[in-house]
Amino acid sequence: MNKTINQKAWFFVIPVFVLVAFNAIIPLMTVVNYAFQETFGNNVFMWEGTRWFKQIMLSERFHASLGRQFLFTFIILFIQIPLGIGIALTMPKEGIGVPICLVLMSMPLLIPWNVVGAMWNIFALPDIGFLGHSLNALGFDYNFTQQIGDAWFTTILMDVWHWTSLVVLLSYAGLQSIQPAYYQAAEIDGASRWAVFTKIELPKMKKVLTIAILLRFMDSFMIYTEPFVLTGGGPGNATAFLSIDLVKMALGQFDLGPAAAMSLIYFFIVLLVCWVFYTLMMRNEGNQ
Amino acid sequence: MSLELKNVEKKIGLDTHIYTTNLKLEKNTINILLGPTLSGKTTLMQIIAGLDKPTTGEIWFNDKNVTGMKVQKRNVSMVYQQFINYPNFTVYENIASPLKITGISTDETKQRVGKVAELLKLSGMLSKKPNELSGGQQQRTALARALVKDSDLILLDEPLANLDFKLREELREELPRLFEDRDCIVVYATTEPSEALLLGGNTATLQEGKVIQYGKTLDVYNKPNSLLSAQVFSDPPMNITKIKKVGDNCSFLDDSVNWKSKINIKDGEYKVGIRPHNITTYKEGNNSLEIKGKVLISELSGSESLIHFTKGDLNWVSLSNGVFQKNVGDEMNLYMNADEFIYFDENERLVTNG
């Protein structure tokens, strides 16, 4: 069969191509460019090879912020996923309660990130903030601007408040899609509530939970705005997660080469973790 | 063993889903709930199972009032339209799942699962997961789950509706055999009259939450107590027309069709129901009426031909054996077997079935 030659098809492809080039490929290649060279401005570059990569990989500062990042991400996943599923399970399945719950749940997601940071900053201030003042009044020695534990506690609490809703909404959607017949079948079999959860609800929510975990992993691994506004990475470097550290290096110290190398490493870590996780979760999925 | 519904009624808010119903289902019978979608089959079935409570009325099982008793204590099993299996259990574990709380030994479980799996042709796939099976096999697994324990009551809610044609035919033929020699009451909901006829037993025709008629399947089919019952139990839909009877002379369609009848009913006007297969392209029976119709649609269904035609102001459906096609708009002769007419009075109650 002869193919018709029609170059007009390019008009459909080119806009997407240009868009992707401008918002992803060109900026990324600029970063790649910086990562292998040294520059002192005036568009003068010197080839450095893998020097910046070696420097970052061996730097204690990077190890520390990477460690903090993983710790933070694991803690919030550990809290938000079970909590989100738990809240979704207790939400009403029909009636007027459904829209009310859904709107209430969506609220934190609708607030701009820097506002979330500012809100929690004021909320947690030890002298005038409601949370900070109350905790101190109750006898806790709480000061998130000076004590590392308190800073972590506040940052985690803020993230849980901000993002648990996303897990709730996704889990709720997953739960709602389970046909009532499944619950009836379990009832007939005399299955316990726990068995219904582990044998029906969890397997049926698997795909949507995989997405929830992936989204929460990526977002929390790249978290910047909220801790930047809340703690500014402090006290000291206690809450300086990867992206905060990266910005410090790139814009604070103007070490463009190492910062570019670091952002590439950062990017590959996110990509690798997501790929491994997704592949593991989906390896036994049939074509259901 | 018997199951009895006494004055059962189900209301949700102001809507009545099931109107006052009295039914007695006997041991070792298949009972078919036949009715179109939303006629209340599923609701009635859930009340029978104990998954739902009637608003008023009682359910008696073996002369014991079981209204409101929890379903786990009732020893029932159920198969749904959707293929309901535990997603991360193997076929074996799925079939064995209803036995778990009964405390039956592993050896017996193994033996029972093996037997049921063989009956349903699942022996080769016991270690597979449901999502590795075809729709037909998934439904077979669900059926096996229902059959593995000796339930007093097996409920099947349109179990074949989600299967594609070939698998449906295949499983449909096996169904009567599955319920043979079982000491239980089977309740089977379906929208399809042909399924009811194939399964035999008893049939209850349902319409808009009311049980219209209940009795032996063939009796309900041959002697519908009302036009409504006859319509529910007819697919393709029944033809309905008005006839006049004066003495021995019967006529319909403004006297354009006349015949002599020795039928023993008084003179007057009647509504007559004529099943599509009693209108054919060839003469059948001794009392065959010839009419001329104009073809609306002609379609094939298996080895039968459906012809929709107009005659008078009415649309008719005929079903003849054999495969043939007519052109739209053609005039053609069709024959009605007057011995098979079913007569209803002005209130649409049965007068006689000819």
Structural domain boundaries in chain B: 2-224, 239-352
- Residue A200, chain B, CB below 8 Å: the answer is yes
The most confident of A43-52, B63-72, B208-217, by mean pLDDT: B208-217
Distance from CA of B283 to the nearest CA of A (A): 49
Q: In CATH, what class is B2-224?
A: alpha beta
Between CA A172 and CA A91 the distance in angstroms is 8
Instruction: Average the pLDDT over B305-316 and give the result.
Output: 88
pLDDT of residue B182: 81
Q: Which of A94, A189, A197 to mutate to test the interface with B (most CBs of B within 10 A)?
A: A189
Q: Are A130 and A43 in contact (CB under 8 A)?
A: no
Residue A288 has pLDDT above 50, yes or no: no
The residue behind tokens 């809240």 is: A87
CB count within 10 Å of CB A5 equals 6
pLDDT of residue A287: 45
A15 half-sphere exposure, CB direction, 13 A CA radius: 4
* Tokens, residue A45: 């570059």
- Indicate the Cα dihedral angle A115, A120, A125, A128, nearest 10°: 70
| B203: phi then psi, degrees, rounded to nearest 5 | -130, 140
Beta strand segments in chain A, E: 37-39, 45-47
CB contact under 8 A, B89 and A286: no
CB contact under 8 A, B82 and A286: no
Identify the band that residue B244 occupies on the pLDDT scale cut at 50, 70 and 90. Answer: confident
Residue B249 has pLDDT above 80, yes or no: yes
Q: Which chain A residues are Cβ-neighbours of B132 within 8 angstroms?
A: 286
Residue A80 has pLDDT above 90, yes or no: yes
CB contact under 8 A, B49 and A188: yes
Average pLDDT, chain B: 88
pLDDT of residue B268: 86
pLDDT of residue A139: 87
pLDDT of residue A216: 94
Window from A203-207, B54-58, B245-249, B255-259 with minimum mean pLDDT: B255-259
CATH 3.90.330.10 fits B239-352, yes or no: no
CA B275 from chain center: how many Å?
Answer: 16
Residue B347 has pLDDT above 80, yes or no: yes
% of residues, chain A, pLDDT over 70: 98
Three-state SS for B233? coil
pLDDT digits (tens, 9 = 90+) for B322-332: 888 888 888 88
Three-state SS for B32? strand
Domains and CATH numbers, chain A: 60-243+271-282 (1.10.3720.10)
Identify the band that residue A1 occupies on the pLDDT scale cut at 50, 70 and 90. Answer: low
Between CA A246 and CA B44 the distance in angstroms is 65
pLDDT digits (tens, 9 = 90+) for A196-249: 999 999 999 999 999 999 999 999 999 999 999 988 887 888 888 989 988 988
pLDDT digits (tens, 9 = 90+) for A115-144: 999 999 999 998 889 999 999 999 888 888
Distance from CA of B86 to the nearest CA of A (A): 6
% of residues, chain A, pLDDT over 90: 55
pTM recorded for the entire structure = 0.80
Between CA A31 and CA A28 the distance in angstroms is 5
pLDDT digits (tens, 9 = 90+) for A167-193: 999 999 999 999 989 999 998 888 889
